[in-house]
Amino acid sequence: MTEIADLTASEAARRIAAGSLTASALAEACLARITEREPEVRAFAWLDPALVRRGAAAMDKGGPPAPLKGIPFGVKDVLDTADMPSQYGSPIWAGHRPRSDSAAVAMARAAGALIIGKTITTEFATRHPGATTNPANKHHTPGGSSSGSAAGVAAGFFPLSFGTQTGGSIIRPAAFCGIVGFKPSFGAIHRGGMKVMSESHDTIGVMARSVADCALSMGAMTGRDYGNPEAKLPRAPRLAFTLGPPAAKAAPETLALMERAIAACRKAGAEVVDITLPEVMTEAFEAHECVTNMESLQSLGWELVAARAQLSDVIKEKLDWAKRFPTAQLDACKLVQARARAALPAAMEGFDAVITASAAGEAPPGIGWTGDPSFNSLWTLLHGPCVTVPAGVGPKGLPLGVQIAGRIGEDAKVLAIGEWVSQAL
Protein backbone atom coordinates (compact mmCIF):
# COMPACT_ATOMS: atom_id res chain seq x y z
CA MET A 1 0.00 0.00 0.00
CA THR A 2 2.79 2.42 0.80
CA GLU A 3 3.68 2.74 -2.90
CA ILE A 4 0.63 5.04 -3.05
CA ALA A 5 2.75 7.42 -0.97
CA ASP A 6 5.09 7.83 -3.94
CA LEU A 7 2.43 9.08 -6.37
CA THR A 8 2.87 12.53 -7.80
CA ALA A 9 0.29 15.04 -6.66
CA SER A 10 -1.02 15.25 -10.21
CA GLU A 11 -1.62 11.50 -10.45
CA ALA A 12 -3.10 11.28 -6.96
CA ALA A 13 -5.47 14.16 -7.75
CA ARG A 14 -6.59 12.41 -10.96
CA ARG A 15 -7.29 9.18 -9.07
CA ILE A 16 -9.21 10.93 -6.30
CA ALA A 17 -11.29 12.85 -8.84
CA ALA A 18 -12.02 9.59 -10.71
CA GLY A 19 -12.99 7.78 -7.51
CA SER A 20 -10.26 5.16 -7.75
CA LEU A 21 -8.41 6.55 -4.70
CA THR A 22 -9.75 8.07 -1.52
CA ALA A 23 -8.22 10.83 0.56
CA SER A 24 -8.14 8.39 3.49
CA ALA A 25 -6.25 5.75 1.54
CA LEU A 26 -3.67 8.28 0.41
CA ALA A 27 -3.34 9.67 3.93
CA GLU A 28 -2.89 6.18 5.39
CA ALA A 29 -0.18 5.38 2.85
CA CYS A 30 1.67 8.56 3.77
CA LEU A 31 1.25 7.91 7.50
CA ALA A 32 2.59 4.38 7.05
CA ARG A 33 5.65 5.75 5.26
CA ILE A 34 6.10 8.31 8.02
CA THR A 35 5.95 5.57 10.66
CA GLU A 36 8.61 3.67 8.73
CA ARG A 37 11.08 6.46 8.01
CA GLU A 38 10.42 9.48 10.25
CA PRO A 39 12.60 8.22 13.13
CA GLU A 40 15.59 8.55 10.80
CA VAL A 41 14.54 11.42 8.50
CA ARG A 42 13.01 13.65 11.20
CA ALA A 43 11.08 15.91 8.82
CA PHE A 44 8.28 16.97 11.16
CA ALA A 45 8.14 19.71 13.75
CA TRP A 46 4.52 18.70 14.44
CA LEU A 47 2.44 15.73 13.34
CA ASP A 48 -0.97 14.62 14.62
CA PRO A 49 -2.07 11.45 12.78
CA ALA A 50 -5.54 11.57 14.32
CA LEU A 51 -6.07 15.08 12.95
CA VAL A 52 -4.88 13.92 9.52
CA ARG A 53 -7.28 10.98 9.54
CA ARG A 54 -10.24 13.15 10.57
CA GLY A 55 -9.48 15.61 7.82
CA ALA A 56 -9.18 12.91 5.17
CA ALA A 57 -12.40 11.22 6.32
CA ALA A 58 -14.28 14.52 6.09
CA MET A 59 -13.06 14.98 2.52
CA ASP A 60 -14.22 11.49 1.59
CA LYS A 61 -17.74 12.28 2.76
CA GLY A 62 -18.22 14.72 -0.08
CA GLY A 63 -17.97 18.41 -0.68
CA PRO A 64 -17.32 20.33 -3.86
CA PRO A 65 -14.59 19.22 -6.26
CA ALA A 66 -11.25 20.94 -5.78
CA PRO A 67 -7.96 20.64 -7.69
CA LEU A 68 -5.95 19.51 -4.66
CA LYS A 69 -8.74 17.64 -2.85
CA GLY A 70 -7.24 15.12 -0.46
CA ILE A 71 -3.62 15.80 -1.40
CA PRO A 72 -1.35 15.77 1.70
CA PHE A 73 0.59 19.03 1.95
CA GLY A 74 3.52 19.66 4.29
CA VAL A 75 3.83 23.15 5.76
CA LYS A 76 7.18 24.69 6.66
CA ASP A 77 7.05 25.82 10.25
CA VAL A 78 7.43 29.51 9.55
CA LEU A 79 3.87 29.57 8.14
CA ASP A 80 1.05 29.83 10.67
CA THR A 81 -1.58 27.12 11.05
CA ALA A 82 -4.71 27.54 13.15
CA ASP A 83 -4.90 23.87 14.19
CA MET A 84 -1.21 23.17 14.80
CA PRO A 85 1.61 24.94 16.66
CA SER A 86 3.81 27.39 14.78
CA GLN A 87 7.21 27.47 16.42
CA TYR A 88 9.47 28.92 13.69
CA GLY A 89 12.36 26.62 14.53
CA SER A 90 13.03 28.53 17.75
CA PRO A 91 12.63 27.64 21.45
CA ILE A 92 11.35 31.17 21.95
CA TRP A 93 8.12 30.20 20.22
CA ALA A 94 7.76 26.65 21.60
CA GLY A 95 4.09 25.70 21.86
CA HIS A 96 2.86 28.86 20.12
CA ARG A 97 -0.69 28.39 18.75
CA PRO A 98 -1.77 31.01 16.21
CA ARG A 99 -5.44 31.88 15.95
CA SER A 100 -5.51 31.71 12.16
CA ASP A 101 -3.89 30.11 9.15
CA SER A 102 -1.31 31.99 7.15
CA ALA A 103 -2.49 33.17 3.75
CA ALA A 104 -0.50 30.37 2.08
CA VAL A 105 -2.07 27.64 4.20
CA ALA A 106 -5.55 29.13 3.74
CA MET A 107 -4.99 29.11 -0.04
CA ALA A 108 -3.91 25.46 0.06
CA ARG A 109 -6.92 24.44 2.15
CA ALA A 110 -9.27 26.35 -0.15
CA ALA A 111 -7.82 24.36 -3.07
CA GLY A 112 -8.66 21.12 -1.22
CA ALA A 113 -5.27 20.23 0.25
CA LEU A 114 -4.99 18.12 3.40
CA ILE A 115 -2.47 19.82 5.69
CA ILE A 116 -0.55 16.85 7.05
CA GLY A 117 1.82 18.56 9.48
CA LYS A 118 4.46 21.19 10.14
CA THR A 119 7.92 20.57 8.74
CA ILE A 120 11.22 21.38 10.38
CA THR A 121 12.88 24.64 9.44
CA THR A 122 16.17 26.12 10.47
CA GLU A 123 15.85 28.76 13.18
CA PHE A 124 13.57 31.47 11.73
CA ALA A 125 14.44 30.05 8.28
CA THR A 126 18.01 31.32 8.65
CA ARG A 127 21.14 29.31 9.47
CA HIS A 128 20.91 27.25 12.66
CA PRO A 129 19.69 23.82 11.48
CA GLY A 130 17.14 21.42 12.86
CA ALA A 131 17.40 17.64 13.18
CA THR A 132 16.31 16.63 9.65
CA THR A 133 18.52 14.28 7.63
CA ASN A 134 18.76 13.67 3.89
CA PRO A 135 16.55 10.71 2.84
CA ALA A 136 19.19 9.73 0.27
CA ASN A 137 21.84 9.40 2.99
CA LYS A 138 21.15 10.09 6.65
CA HIS A 139 24.74 11.21 7.18
CA HIS A 140 24.21 14.28 4.98
CA THR A 141 22.16 17.45 5.29
CA PRO A 142 18.89 17.78 3.37
CA GLY A 143 19.72 21.44 2.88
CA GLY A 144 17.85 24.35 4.38
CA SER A 145 16.12 26.27 5.47
CA SER A 146 13.17 24.26 4.11
CA SER A 147 14.75 21.07 5.44
CA GLY A 148 11.72 19.05 6.47
CA SER A 149 9.69 20.12 3.45
CA ALA A 150 12.31 18.84 1.00
CA ALA A 151 13.10 15.66 2.93
CA GLY A 152 9.42 14.86 3.43
CA VAL A 153 8.62 14.99 -0.28
CA ALA A 154 11.69 12.90 -1.09
CA ALA A 155 10.84 10.30 1.57
CA GLY A 156 7.21 9.90 0.50
CA PHE A 157 5.66 11.61 3.53
CA PHE A 158 3.62 14.00 1.36
CA PRO A 159 3.62 14.82 -2.37
CA LEU A 160 3.56 18.61 -1.91
CA SER A 161 5.05 21.03 0.58
CA PHE A 162 5.60 24.70 1.18
CA GLY A 163 9.12 26.09 1.28
CA THR A 164 10.32 29.65 1.66
CA GLN A 165 13.41 31.18 0.10
CA THR A 166 15.50 34.11 1.28
CA GLY A 167 18.76 32.93 -0.24
CA GLY A 168 18.47 29.36 -1.48
CA SER A 169 16.02 27.69 0.87
CA ILE A 170 13.76 26.09 -1.76
CA ILE A 171 16.07 25.39 -4.67
CA ARG A 172 19.08 24.08 -2.72
CA PRO A 173 17.31 21.54 -0.45
CA ALA A 174 15.16 20.35 -3.35
CA ALA A 175 18.33 19.70 -5.35
CA PHE A 176 20.05 18.01 -2.39
CA CYS A 177 17.05 15.69 -1.91
CA GLY A 178 16.48 14.88 -5.57
CA ILE A 179 13.07 16.53 -6.00
CA VAL A 180 11.61 19.53 -7.84
CA GLY A 181 11.61 22.92 -6.12
CA PHE A 182 9.87 26.01 -7.47
CA LYS A 183 10.41 29.57 -6.26
CA PRO A 184 7.80 31.66 -8.06
CA SER A 185 8.02 35.34 -8.89
CA PHE A 186 8.30 37.44 -5.74
CA GLY A 187 4.92 37.90 -4.06
CA ALA A 188 3.07 35.20 -6.00
CA ILE A 189 1.92 33.70 -2.68
CA HIS A 190 0.92 36.24 -0.04
CA ARG A 191 3.16 36.31 3.04
CA GLY A 192 0.44 37.13 5.57
CA GLY A 193 0.90 34.87 8.59
CA MET A 194 4.51 34.07 7.73
CA LYS A 195 7.39 34.77 10.10
CA VAL A 196 9.05 37.09 7.58
CA MET A 197 12.75 37.76 8.00
CA SER A 198 13.77 39.69 4.90
CA GLU A 199 11.10 41.97 3.50
CA SER A 200 13.01 42.27 0.22
CA HIS A 201 13.83 38.61 -0.35
CA ASP A 202 11.46 36.17 1.40
CA THR A 203 9.40 34.25 -1.15
CA ILE A 204 6.97 31.37 -0.57
CA GLY A 205 7.12 28.49 -3.04
CA VAL A 206 6.48 24.77 -3.38
CA MET A 207 8.33 21.46 -3.47
CA ALA A 208 7.06 18.42 -5.33
CA ARG A 209 7.92 15.26 -7.24
CA SER A 210 7.34 16.75 -10.68
CA VAL A 211 7.31 20.09 -12.45
CA ALA A 212 3.65 19.47 -13.31
CA ASP A 213 2.89 19.18 -9.59
CA CYS A 214 4.37 22.63 -9.03
CA ALA A 215 2.20 24.11 -11.78
CA LEU A 216 -0.89 22.30 -10.46
CA SER A 217 -0.45 23.47 -6.88
CA MET A 218 0.51 27.04 -7.72
CA GLY A 219 -2.39 27.43 -10.12
CA ALA A 220 -4.86 25.84 -7.70
CA MET A 221 -3.81 28.15 -4.87
CA THR A 222 -3.39 31.46 -6.70
CA GLY A 223 -5.85 31.25 -9.59
CA ARG A 224 -3.06 32.16 -12.01
CA ASP A 225 -2.25 30.14 -15.11
CA TYR A 226 1.00 28.25 -14.58
CA GLY A 227 0.52 26.33 -17.80
CA ASN A 228 0.92 22.66 -18.54
CA PRO A 229 4.65 21.94 -18.31
CA GLU A 230 4.17 18.54 -19.90
CA ALA A 231 2.78 20.03 -23.13
CA LYS A 232 5.23 20.08 -26.02
CA LEU A 233 7.02 23.39 -26.50
CA PRO A 234 6.48 25.05 -29.89
CA ARG A 235 10.26 25.05 -30.33
CA ALA A 236 13.37 24.10 -28.42
CA PRO A 237 14.38 26.87 -26.01
CA ARG A 238 17.23 29.32 -26.36
CA LEU A 239 19.09 29.24 -23.06
CA ALA A 240 21.67 31.52 -21.51
CA PHE A 241 24.26 29.73 -19.40
CA THR A 242 26.03 31.35 -16.48
CA LEU A 243 27.22 30.25 -13.07
CA GLY A 244 27.03 33.87 -11.97
CA PRO A 245 29.14 35.63 -9.34
CA PRO A 246 29.83 32.49 -7.23
CA ALA A 247 31.23 30.52 -10.19
CA ALA A 248 34.54 29.85 -8.39
CA LYS A 249 32.65 27.93 -5.66
CA ALA A 250 31.31 25.28 -8.04
CA ALA A 251 32.48 21.79 -7.06
CA PRO A 252 33.91 19.49 -9.74
CA GLU A 253 30.67 17.48 -9.80
CA THR A 254 28.71 20.67 -10.53
CA LEU A 255 31.01 21.71 -13.36
CA ALA A 256 30.72 18.21 -14.85
CA LEU A 257 26.95 18.26 -14.35
CA MET A 258 26.52 21.55 -16.19
CA GLU A 259 28.63 20.26 -19.08
CA ARG A 260 26.42 17.18 -19.33
CA ALA A 261 23.23 19.21 -19.02
CA ILE A 262 24.25 21.69 -21.70
CA ALA A 263 25.29 18.88 -24.02
CA ALA A 264 21.96 17.12 -23.46
CA CYS A 265 20.00 20.32 -24.13
CA ARG A 266 21.92 20.97 -27.33
CA LYS A 267 21.38 17.38 -28.46
CA ALA A 268 17.64 17.86 -27.89
CA GLY A 269 17.67 20.96 -30.10
CA ALA A 270 18.24 23.84 -27.71
CA GLU A 271 20.65 26.68 -28.33
CA VAL A 272 22.77 27.27 -25.23
CA VAL A 273 25.02 30.33 -25.13
CA ASP A 274 27.51 31.32 -22.44
CA ILE A 275 26.80 34.83 -21.20
CA THR A 276 28.55 37.27 -18.87
CA LEU A 277 26.22 39.08 -16.51
CA PRO A 278 26.55 42.86 -16.15
CA GLU A 279 28.57 44.14 -13.22
CA VAL A 280 25.45 45.35 -11.40
CA MET A 281 24.50 41.70 -10.88
CA THR A 282 27.69 41.09 -8.92
CA GLU A 283 27.06 44.25 -6.89
CA ALA A 284 23.52 43.09 -6.11
CA PHE A 285 24.78 39.61 -5.21
CA GLU A 286 27.30 41.12 -2.81
CA ALA A 287 24.54 43.24 -1.26
CA HIS A 288 22.36 40.21 -0.52
CA GLU A 289 23.87 39.47 2.89
CA CYS A 290 23.58 43.07 4.03
CA VAL A 291 19.93 43.35 3.01
CA THR A 292 19.01 39.98 4.49
CA ASN A 293 20.68 40.57 7.85
CA MET A 294 19.68 44.21 8.27
CA GLU A 295 16.06 43.35 7.52
CA SER A 296 16.25 40.33 9.81
CA LEU A 297 17.54 42.62 12.54
CA GLN A 298 14.30 44.55 12.19
CA SER A 299 12.05 41.48 12.02
CA LEU A 300 13.59 39.96 15.17
CA GLY A 301 13.49 43.17 17.16
CA TRP A 302 11.23 41.70 19.83
CA GLU A 303 13.17 38.44 20.18
CA LEU A 304 16.45 40.34 20.57
CA VAL A 305 15.03 42.36 23.44
CA ALA A 306 12.82 39.79 25.15
CA ALA A 307 14.63 36.50 24.58
CA ARG A 308 18.15 37.10 23.27
CA ALA A 309 19.56 34.22 25.34
CA GLN A 310 17.36 31.77 23.42
CA LEU A 311 18.68 32.82 20.02
CA SER A 312 21.44 30.68 18.55
CA ASP A 313 24.97 32.02 18.54
CA VAL A 314 25.08 32.02 14.74
CA ILE A 315 22.01 34.22 14.38
CA LYS A 316 23.18 36.58 17.13
CA GLU A 317 26.53 36.90 15.34
CA LYS A 318 24.84 37.86 12.07
CA LEU A 319 22.42 40.29 13.70
CA ASP A 320 25.17 41.92 15.76
CA TRP A 321 27.14 42.31 12.50
CA ALA A 322 24.13 44.00 10.91
CA LYS A 323 23.87 46.46 13.82
CA ARG A 324 27.16 48.02 12.76
CA PHE A 325 25.66 49.62 9.68
CA PRO A 326 23.47 52.72 9.40
CA THR A 327 20.06 52.49 7.78
CA ALA A 328 21.52 54.32 4.81
CA GLN A 329 23.57 51.19 4.08
CA LEU A 330 20.41 49.13 3.76
CA ASP A 331 18.85 51.72 1.48
CA ALA A 332 21.95 51.79 -0.74
CA CYS A 333 22.04 47.99 -1.01
CA LYS A 334 18.34 47.83 -1.87
CA LEU A 335 18.89 50.44 -4.57
CA VAL A 336 21.65 48.32 -6.12
CA GLN A 337 19.32 45.35 -6.13
CA ALA A 338 16.57 47.38 -7.79
CA ARG A 339 19.05 48.37 -10.50
CA ALA A 340 19.92 44.72 -11.03
CA ARG A 341 16.25 43.81 -11.43
CA ALA A 342 15.88 46.57 -13.99
CA ALA A 343 18.93 45.24 -15.86
CA LEU A 344 17.74 41.62 -16.04
CA PRO A 345 15.55 41.89 -19.18
CA ALA A 346 18.43 43.33 -21.21
CA ALA A 347 20.86 40.73 -19.82
CA MET A 348 18.47 37.99 -20.97
CA GLU A 349 17.45 39.59 -24.25
CA GLY A 350 17.00 36.97 -26.95
CA PHE A 351 16.92 34.09 -24.45
CA ASP A 352 13.97 32.18 -23.05
CA ALA A 353 15.60 31.45 -19.69
CA VAL A 354 18.87 30.98 -17.85
CA ILE A 355 20.30 27.53 -17.14
CA THR A 356 22.60 27.39 -14.13
CA ALA A 357 23.59 25.34 -11.09
CA SER A 358 21.13 24.61 -8.29
CA ALA A 359 23.88 24.31 -5.68
CA ALA A 360 27.64 24.34 -5.32
CA GLY A 361 27.75 20.54 -5.24
CA GLU A 362 26.32 17.52 -3.46
CA ALA A 363 24.78 17.85 -0.01
CA PRO A 364 27.58 18.35 2.56
CA PRO A 365 28.21 15.67 5.18
CA GLY A 366 26.66 16.08 8.61
CA ILE A 367 23.56 18.05 9.56
CA GLY A 368 25.26 20.95 11.30
CA TRP A 369 25.42 23.03 8.10
CA THR A 370 22.77 23.12 5.38
CA GLY A 371 25.08 24.12 2.51
CA ASP A 372 26.10 27.20 0.58
CA PRO A 373 23.22 29.27 -0.90
CA SER A 374 25.49 31.28 -3.20
CA PHE A 375 24.11 29.77 -6.41
CA ASN A 376 20.57 30.83 -5.48
CA SER A 377 20.76 34.23 -3.82
CA LEU A 378 21.14 36.26 -7.04
CA TRP A 379 18.05 34.66 -8.58
CA THR A 380 16.14 35.23 -5.35
CA LEU A 381 16.93 38.94 -5.11
CA LEU A 382 16.09 39.40 -8.81
CA HIS A 383 12.52 38.36 -7.92
CA GLY A 384 11.99 36.16 -10.97
CA PRO A 385 10.89 32.51 -10.99
CA CYS A 386 13.31 29.61 -10.77
CA VAL A 387 12.91 25.86 -10.70
CA THR A 388 15.33 23.04 -9.95
CA VAL A 389 14.93 19.63 -11.57
CA PRO A 390 16.73 16.41 -10.59
CA ALA A 391 19.79 15.77 -12.76
CA GLY A 392 21.43 12.57 -11.60
CA VAL A 393 23.85 11.99 -8.76
CA GLY A 394 27.33 13.08 -7.79
CA PRO A 395 30.45 11.08 -6.86
CA LYS A 396 29.01 10.16 -3.44
CA GLY A 397 25.72 9.01 -4.92
CA LEU A 398 23.82 12.06 -3.68
CA PRO A 399 21.30 13.93 -5.85
CA LEU A 400 22.20 16.88 -8.05
CA GLY A 401 19.92 19.43 -9.68
CA VAL A 402 19.89 21.89 -12.56
CA GLN A 403 18.28 25.30 -12.11
CA ILE A 404 16.25 27.27 -14.67
CA ALA A 405 15.67 30.96 -13.92
CA GLY A 406 13.65 33.58 -15.74
CA ARG A 407 12.20 37.07 -15.85
CA ILE A 408 9.64 38.33 -13.34
CA GLY A 409 6.19 37.05 -14.28
CA GLU A 410 7.40 34.35 -16.68
CA ASP A 411 6.65 31.56 -14.23
CA ALA A 412 4.79 29.35 -16.69
CA LYS A 413 7.62 29.62 -19.21
CA VAL A 414 10.24 28.72 -16.59
CA LEU A 415 8.23 25.68 -15.50
CA ALA A 416 7.76 24.55 -19.10
CA ILE A 417 11.46 24.90 -19.82
CA GLY A 418 12.29 23.16 -16.54
CA GLU A 419 10.23 20.18 -17.67
CA TRP A 420 11.83 20.31 -21.13
CA VAL A 421 15.31 20.27 -19.61
CA SER A 422 14.30 17.43 -17.29
CA GLN A 423 13.21 15.38 -20.31
CA ALA A 424 16.38 16.28 -22.22
CA LEU A 425 18.46 15.03 -19.30
Ramachandran category for residue 364: left, alpha or beta (phi over 0 → left; psi -120 to 50 → alpha):
beta
Instruction: Spell out the alpha helix ranges (H) of 61-181.
Output: 103-110, 147-155, 171-177
Using the CB atoms, write b or e for 333-369: b if 16+ within 10 Å.
bbebbeebbebbeebbeebbbbbbbbbbbbbbeebee
Q: CB of 353 within 8 A of CB of 237?
A: yes
Q: What are phi and psi of 359, to 5 degrees?
A: -160, 170
Ramachandran category for residue 167: left, alpha or beta (phi over 0 → left; psi -120 to 50 → alpha):
alpha
Q: CB of 163 within 8 A of CB of 205?
A: yes
Q: Are strands 44-46 and 114-119 parallel, antiparallel or unpaired?
A: antiparallel
List beta partners, residue 79: 194
- Which of 90, 145, 146, 374 is the catalytic position? 145
| 76 given a catalytic annotation | yes
Integer Cα distance of 98 and 90 in angstroms: 15
Q: CB of 129 within 8 A of CB of 370?
A: yes
Q: CB of 378 within 8 A of CB of 354?
A: no
Closest by CA to 213, choosing from 153, 300, 298, is 153
Question: What torsion do the CA atoms of 339, 342, 347, 353 make, to the nearest 10 degrees?
Answer: 130
**Distance from the Cα of residue 334 to its chain's centroid:** 23
| 145 given a catalytic annotation | yes
Closest by CA to 84, choosing from 101, 71, 69, 68, is 101
Closest by CA to 214, choosing from 388, 21, 383, 349, is 388
| 296 given a catalytic annotation | no
Q: CB of 414 within 8 A of CB of 405?
A: yes
Residue 217: CB atoms within 10 Å: 31
- Which of 169, 185, 200, 296 is the catalytic position? 169
Integer Cα distance of 215 and 212 in angstroms: 5
Residues classed as catalytic: 76, 145, 169
